[in-house]
Amino acid sequence: MRPTRTSGSCAPLRKTPLLSSASGVLRPVPRPKPMSGGPPRRAVVTEVPRSGAFRGNERPSGPVKPSPPRGVTPGPSWRRWSIAIGHARDGISHAWQTQPNLRIHSAVAAMVVGLGTFLGLATAEWIAILLCITVVIALELVNTAVEACVDLVTRETHPIARTAKDVAAGAVLVGVVGSVLIGAVIFVPRLYQLIVW
């Protein structure tokens, strides 16, 4: 863009508007007002493409469809749910294959369910037993996830990494102890009556 001079030697300079180019239309941005105590700023020319893209203060003529958040799979809700369930199934399968404690907890849970069926537990007792089983298995899965994250960050013996693993294992221990106490409250009186009578 080149400044042009009108007739007369003292005429002020002005800038001619730019014409369209092959890629878009060039439009001059209005000259900003000079700040007090400083020289006026020079006008800046921005290019507005002819395509659907827009820059600066330009806005599209029609509505813009927002892009999905990062990590969200586009598509119907049932498809997102099926993908999420598939990821959860993969996580449980990995924990089952790599964590012996999860298999031990599952075996004990199966024996407890069989014993409860034999003794004929009440509905409230079944609710307590199932909650204990769910909490212990869920805590074991969380412990597996914490161990995997710590191993991803560092393989070295670090005090903080060790603390993270110990705390996660402690959460599993608390859940197991609480479940054993609840199971004792439910099963010991029934087993005592069964043995005595």
Residues 163 and 109 reside in one and the same domain: yes
CATH code, domain with 113: 1.10.287.3610
- Domain contains 86: no
What pLDDT, on a 0 to 100 scale, did the predictor assign at position 61? 58
* Mean per-residue pLDDT over the chain, rounded: 77
Diameter of the chain measured on Cα atoms: 124
- Domain contains 66: no
Residue 32's pLDDT band (cuts 50, 70, 90)? low
Residues 48 and 132 reside in one and the same domain: no
Polymer length in residues for the chain: 197
* Rounded Cα–Cα distance for residues 130 and 186 (Å): 12
pTM: 0.59
- Domain contains 159: yes
Please give the single-letter amino acid code of residue 106.
Answer: S
Residue 137's pLDDT band (cuts 50, 70, 90)? very high
Number of domains in the chain: 2
Q: Is the pLDDT of residue 162 over 60?
A: yes
The Cβ of residue 141 has, within 10 Å, a number of other Cβ atoms equal to 19
Q: What percent of the chain has pLDDT over 90?
A: 49
Q: Is the pLDDT of residue 186 over 90?
A: yes
Residues 102 and 187 reside in one and the same domain: yes
Residue 79's pLDDT band (cuts 50, 70, 90)? confident
- Domain contains 73: no
- Domain contains 180: yes
Residues 101 and 54 reside in one and the same domain: no
What pLDDT, on a 0 to 100 scale, did the predictor assign at position 19? 45
Residues 126 and 42 reside in one and the same domain: no
* Rounded Cα–Cα distance for residues 172 and 135 (Å): 9
Residues 43 and 113 reside in one and the same domain: no
Residues 41 and 115 reside in one and the same domain: no
Let me know if 94 is exposed, middle or buried by CB neighbors in 10 A (0-12, 13-18, 19+).
Answer: middle
For the segment 109-128, what is each residue's pLDDT rounded down to a tens digit? 999 999 999 999 999 999 99
Q: Is the pLDDT of residue 38 over 70?
A: no
The residue-averaged pLDDT of 101-115 equals: 95
Residue closest to 133 by CA, chosen among 94, 82, 186:
186
Q: In which region does residue 71 sit, left (phi positive, over 0), alpha (psi from -120 to 50) or beta (all else)?
A: left
Beta strands 24-28 and 45-49 are antiparallel
Q: Is the pLDDT of residue 195 over 60?
A: yes
* Rounded Cα–Cα distance for residues 168 and 150 (Å): 11
Q: Which of 5-14, 68-77, 93-102 has the lowest mean pLDDT?
A: 5-14
Residues 41 and 123 reside in one and the same domain: no
Residue range(s) defining the domain that contains residue 20? 15-58
- Domain contains 136: yes
- Domain contains 9: no
